[in-house]
Structure formats: structure tokens, C-alpha cells
Structure 1
Amino acid sequence: MPDLDLNALSFSELKQLQKDVDKAIGTYETRRRAEAKAELESRAKELGFSLSDLLEGPAARKRVSVPKYRNPADPEQTWTGRGRKPGWIAEALAQGKPIEDFEI
């Protein structure tokens, strides 16, 4: 670090220096993170990868639940059998109807 004679600076220069130091402190972590990321990207490129290829991993598959039950009164209403029971199922079960009556 260069030697800085603070006694040789004017009041306005000291205030500006203070602002510059506060800004440097505030952005220190961001700058360090950017440097680390650049270093990792460079190393990944040397190995024939992009950094995002290494971090993201295999594409996540989203599971799509297939409906198992259908409302006979309204065929548009279906239920997968997972989660909270829809009102039409709960009502039918409360009336004593077996759930098998609603299977698709």
C-alpha cells in the first residue's frame, strides 16, 4: 500500500478520501466475488466447460401428476389423489360413496 501523508491533504481532499474509502469498503465483497467468479470461469474453460454447466448440473425433471379421479357431474374436475381433497370428493365420501366410484 502506498504511503499517504494525511497531514498534507486539505479538508476537502480528506473528505473525498473518506467517501472513496467508504465506497471501496461497501463494494469490497462484490468485487471479491466477481474476481472469484472470473477465476472459476477461466479454470472451467481450461477444462472444456462453462461455469454454468458445472453449477447447474443435469436438467431437473418436473413431475406432472396424472389425475386419478374425476367428478362424474363435471368431467372437467379431476384430482390426482395428492394434497387436499377437493370439495366434490370430500362431499361424496361424507355421503358414504366409495372413492373407487370416481377413479378414471
Structure 2
Amino acid sequence: MRDFAGGRSNALSLPELKQLQKNVAKAIASFEDRRKAEARAKVDDFARELGFSFDELAEAAPTRKRATSAPKYRHPENAEITWSGRGRKPAWIAEALASGKSLDDFAI
């Protein structure tokens, strides 16, 4: 029977298996790094054909920032606690709805 360590017929010890695992992880990381470098070079070449550098294009990428939503609901006992009506319901809203109240009761 052959194993992963080059054809020895005996089983590998735990330290040998762990070293093999480390070696495989290093080989995978090295392979991925080479592939990324190749991709980066191709993108760089294409960007240069268009008169740019990759870094210029990467910096120019627009970033979207989500606007904060105005609060629509206010806690009945603490006016500083609000909820915009987006996302997960806060516990105080969920409890109030379970007790029979409606969102209109908390509208600002």
C-alpha cells in the first residue's frame, strides 16, 4: 500500500502528518501567490495599453456609503432609543408587538 509520503509502506506518524499538512498549505499559498502575480501582471499590461496603471484604476474605484436612515419609531419610556424601521426589530418593538401594540403607537 502506498501513502502520501513518497511510497513508504508504513503509516505516517502524527508529527509527520502535521508536517505534511504544513508543507501542503505552504505549497497552496505559494501557488495562489503565483497565480495572483500573473493576474496582476496581465491586468497591469491591459491598464497600460489604455494609458493607466493598475494602481490608478484601483484608487479611482468609487465607494458607496450607505446613508443613515432617519428614525421612524421612538421608545415610549426613553426618547433617546429609536429605530429606523430597517433591519431586525429591536427587542422593545418585538415585545410591544407581541403584546398587541402596533408600530403606529411608536411612530415619531
The TM tier, using the shorter chain, reads 0.5 to 0.7
The answer for the alignment partner of 1:7 in structure 2 is none
Percent identity between matched residues is 54
Higher RCO (CA-CA < 8 Å; seq separation 6+): 1
CA apart distance, 1:69: 0.3
Structure 1 gaps of 5+ residues are: 1-22
Deviating more after overlay: 45-54 vs 71-80: 45-54
The one-letter code matched in structure 2 to 1:69 is Y
Structure 1 or 2: more strand by fraction? 1
- Corresponding residue for residue 77 of structure 1: 81
Look up the match of 2:48. 45
- Number of the residue aligned with 1:3: none
Superposition pairs for residues 1-104 of structure 1, below 5 Å?
27-52=30-55, 53=57, 57-104=61-108
SS in 2 for 1:75: coil
Q: TM-score, normalized by length of structure 1?
A: 0.53
Count of residue pairs the alignment pairs up: 82
Judged with a 3 Å threshold, the aligned counterparts in structure 2 of structure 1 residues 41 and 73 are, in CA distance, closer, same or farther, namely same
Q: Residue 106 of structure 2 aligns to which amino acid in structure 1?
A: F
In structure 2, distance between residues paired with 1:72 and 1:96: 15
